[in-house]
Amino acid sequence: MVTIDAVLPGYSSVMSDNIEGGYAIAKCLLDRGHRRIGVIHGEDNNVTKRRLNGVYRAFREYGVQTDPIYFRTGRFHNTEDATRLTLEFMNLPNPPTAIMYQDDFAFIGGYIRWWTNWVFVSRRTSALRDMTVFTCHRSSAQSSPPICRMVQK
């Protein structure tokens, strides 16, 4: 047996570079001019801690405050959490202009919530200009808002 992103005694493991991944995906958004970035991260585990370390490093380099209001915990692979947390972000007085999701499933939940509430139902203009996702899939699909993907190999 081989584990992915988890170390178990007596087993081989393959580890993603979650620190550099978190850094790269945050830097992508910062380079695009975002300063209010919503981060929906996974549960308190080593993967989440490493990704957040990378995000915090990018924020420090760009002089961006890490306001706790823009950091929310959701369960990995859970569309319902991401749906709820996206709605919370979008209802803030100063909503984020970009949202980072912890995985494909969370992104799907968040994207559907954003699309149905802000585009289809209310037809309001959203502050959201970019979304990012940690993913295992390569996709050339165009979307609005644009999606930055951090593809894990």
Long-range contacts of 6-14 (CB under 8 A, 24+ apart): 6/46
pLDDT band at 2 (very low <50, low <70, confident <90, very high): confident
Q: What is the pLDDT of residue 56?
A: 97
Is 146 strand, coil or helix?
Answer: coil
Helix axes 79-90, 104-114, angle to 10 degrees: 40
Residue 1, judged by CB atoms within 10 A of its CB (0-12, 13-18, 19+), counts as exposed
Q: What is the pLDDT of residue 146?
A: 57
Q: What is the pLDDT of residue 74?
A: 92
Q: Pairing state of beta strands 98-101 and 147-151?
A: unpaired
Amino acid at position 7, single letter: V
Distances in Å between the Cα of 52 and the Cα atoms of 24, 48, 91 are 11, 6, 23
Q: Domains of the chain, with CATH numbers? A: 17-151 (3.40.50.2300)
pLDDT tens column, 16-75: 888 998 998 899 889 888 899 999 998 998 889 999 999 999 999 999 999 999 999 999
Say what the pTM is. Answer: 0.77
pLDDT tens column, 105-137: 788 888 777 767 655 444 444 455 555 555 444
Residue among 99, 104, 102, 75 nearest 88 (CA): 99
**pLDDT at residue 149 greater than cutoff 70:** no
Q: Pairing state of beta strands 130-135 and 147-151?
A: parallel
